[in-house]
Amino acid sequence: MSDLLASLTPIERIGEGAVLLRGFCANDGEALMRAVRAIEAEAPFRHMVTPGGRGMSVAMTNCGRTGWVTDLTGYRYEACDPTSAKPWPTMPDIFFDLARRAAAAGGYPNFEPDACLINRYEPGARMAPHQDKDERDFTAPIVSVSLGLPATFLWGGLARSDKTQRFTLHDCDVVVWGGPSRLVYHGVAPVKNGGRYNLTFRRAR
Ligand code: MD3
Ligand code: FE
């Protein structure tokens, strides 16, 4: 999207420190998906295992200086892909620039993501409500980019028992979560149709 159009994106405030930028990356959707294809050629999507021993329904890969992984020993960030023992693919400039522009639009200038987790949702895939707390520094926001088919996003509060709001995230919607929203519980309801991707940009270290 041109900076002119980006500046015209309606900014929906969905919570304290959290904004939804509908269609923010609409001009870049195809280039972003081409970049996902190139990353997956180096670091294929895989179903990781949680410490509890369950295979995740969402298939994942990463790019950037470090990547989020889980196995029987726990959740953590790793500089290398455990499947290949090679460093994760470099974060493409188009990813980094998008994350930075979105964060700035959401009120977080100078975001420097070092990790991009790429989630792929096939039919029936879901993400149970959780907090993102494996990062060193919670002062940086998280930027999430939805690509492909829509999904119902679940977003609660700082306690697991807090009431959950739902909203639909569509192709090229971008959400920025920071400040008081950084540690809210969130998840994704089971998707009926596959073909949804989500890029989650974080400052992990
Ligand atoms: C709200 N992914 O990978 S992204 C995840 O659509 C994850 O694939 C979901 O949750 C997905 O950890 C949701 C949106 C998101 C990411 C991080 C958040 C929302 C967040 C952190 C705090 C609050
Ligand atoms: Fe999350």
- pTM assigned to the model: 0.96
DSSP 197: E
Q: CA-to-CA distance for 176 and 159, rounded, in angstroms?
A: 20
For residue 83, the CA-to-ligand 2 centroid distance in Å is 22
Domain ranges of the chain: 2-202
Determine the CATH number of domain 2-202: 2.60.120.590
Residues in the chain: 205
Neighbours of 62 (CB within 10 A): 22
Alpha-carbon torsion angle 51, 53, 56, 61, nearest 10: 60
Question: According to the model, what pLDDT value does residue 8 have?
Answer: 65
Question: Which residue ranges have their beta carbon within 6 Å of ligand 1?
Answer: 117, 119, 127, 132, 142, 144, 175, 177, 181-182, 184, 186, 188, 198, 200
3-state class of 124 per DSSP? coil
In 3D, which of 107, 108, 197 has the Cα closest to residue 144?
A: 197
Question: Of the residues 142, 147, 154, which should be mutated to test ligand 1's pocket, given the most ligand atoms within 8 Å of the CB?
Answer: 142
- Give me the pLDDT at residue 6, please: 60
Closest ligand (CA of 156) = 1
Express as a percent the part of the chain with pLDDT over 70. 96
Write out pLDDT tens, residues 23-46: 999 999 999 999 999 999 999 999
Give the number of the atom of ligand 1 that is nearest the alpha carbon of residue 169. Answer: 6
Rounded mean pLDDT, 149-178: 97
Q: Dihedral sign, CA of 35, 41, 75, 158? A: positive
User: For the residues 5-25, what does the mean pLDDT come to?
Assistant: 87
Backbone dihedral region for residue 17 (phi beyond 0: left; psi -120 to 50: alpha; all else: beta): left
Mean pLDDT of 185-204: 97
Mean pLDDT value of segment 156-185: 97
